[in-house]
Structure 1
Amino acid sequence: MPETLKCSLVTPTYNWPEALELLLSSIKQQVVLPDEVIIADDGSKSETKALIDKFSDNFPVPLIHIWHEDKGNRKPRIMNKAIAAAQFPYIVEIDGDIIMHKNFIKDHLKFAKEGYYLYGSRANIQQSHLVNLFSQQQTNFNYFSKGIKKRGRTIHMPFLTQFYKPVSERSRKLRGCNMSFWRQDFIKVNGFNENLVGWGIDDSEMIQRLHNIGIKGKRLKFAGIAYHIFHHEQSKSHIEINQAIEDQTTKLKIKRCEVGVDQFL
Structure 2
Amino acid sequence: MRSELIISTYNNPKALRLCLVALRNQLQPTDTICIADDGSGPETAEVVQAEVSLRPEAGIRHVWHSDTGFRKAKILNDAIASSTAEFLIFLDGDCMVHPVFLKRHFELARPDRFSSGGFLRLPKEASESVTEDMVEEGTVFAQDWLQNAGALNRYSNKWKAGAGIRAKRALLEHITPVRRYWCGGNSSAFRDKIMAVNGFDTRITYGGGDKEFGERLSNSGVRGRHLRFTAPILHLYHDQPYKSPAEIKENRKHTLHSRKSKSCWTDFGIREREASAR
Same-fold status (TM-score > 0.5)? yes
Partner of residue 57 from structure 1, selected from 47, 53, 68: 53
Matched, 1:213 2:220: yes
Q: How does 1:33-48 map to 2 (within 5 A)?
A: 33-48=29-44
2:11 is matched with which residue? 15
2:91 is matched with which residue? 94
Q: CA deviation at 1:219?
A: 1.0
Indicate the percent of aligned positions where both proteins have the same amino acid. 26
Matched, 1:241 2:242: no
Partner of residue 82 from structure 1, selected from 69, 79, 84: 79
Q: CA deviation at 1:131?
A: 2.9
Quickly say closer, same or farther: Cα 1:214–1:44, change in 2 above 3 A.
same
Q: CA deviation at 1:130?
A: 2.5
Quickly say closer, same or farther: Cα 1:260–1:114, change in 2 above 3 A.
same
How far apart, CA to CA, are the structure 1 residues paired with 2:173 and 2:236? 27
Normalised by the size of structure 1, how large is the TM-score?
A: 0.90
Q: CA deviation at 1:117?
A: 0.6
Partner of residue 21 from structure 2, selected from 22, 25, 30: 25
2:238 is matched with which residue? 231
Deviations 1:36-90 (A, max 9, x none): 0001100000000011111101213111000000000010000000011112111
Quickly say closer, same or farther: Cα 1:50–1:125, change in 2 above 3 A.
same
Deviations 1:121-148 (A, max 9, x none): 2112211212321475535213222323
How far apart, CA to CA, are the structure 2 residues paired with 1:135 and 1:166? 36
Q: How does 1:60-139 map to 2 (within 5 A)?
A: 60-134=57-131, 138-139=135-136
Instruction: Report how many residues are paired.
Output: 258
How far apart, CA to CA, are the structure 2 residues paired with 1:250 and 1:159? 33
What letter corresponds to residue 62 of structure 2 in structure 1? H
Q: Is the 8 A contact 1:80 1:264 kept in 2?
A: no
Normalised by the size of structure 2, how large is the TM-score?
A: 0.86
Structure 2 SS opposite 1:53: helix
- The structure carrying a bigger helix percent of its residues is 2
Identify unmatched segments of 5+ residues in structure 1.
none
How far apart, CA to CA, are the structure 2 residues paired with 1:104 and 1:154? 11
Deviations 1:8-30 (A, max 9, x none): 10011000000000011111111
What letter corresponds to residue 182 of structure 1 in structure 2? F
Identify unmatched segments of 5+ residues in structure 2.
none
What letter corresponds to residue 209 of structure 2 in structure 1? D
Deviations 1:182-206 (A, max 9, x none): 111100100000121x311111111
Q: CA deviation at 1:238?
A: 1.1
Q: CA deviation at 1:227?
A: 0.8
RMSD: 2.2
Q: Which moved more, 1:38-47 or 1:146-155?
A: 146-155
Q: Is the 8 A contact 1:199 1:239 kept in 2?
A: yes
What letter corresponds to residue 177 of structure 1 in structure 2? G
Partner of residue 192 from structure 2, selected from 184, 199, 212: 184
How far apart, CA to CA, are the structure 2 residues paired with 1:132 and 1:67? 29
How far apart, CA to CA, are the structure 2 residues paired with 1:175 and 1:142? 24
Q: Is the 8 A contact 2:116 2:180 kept in 1?
A: no
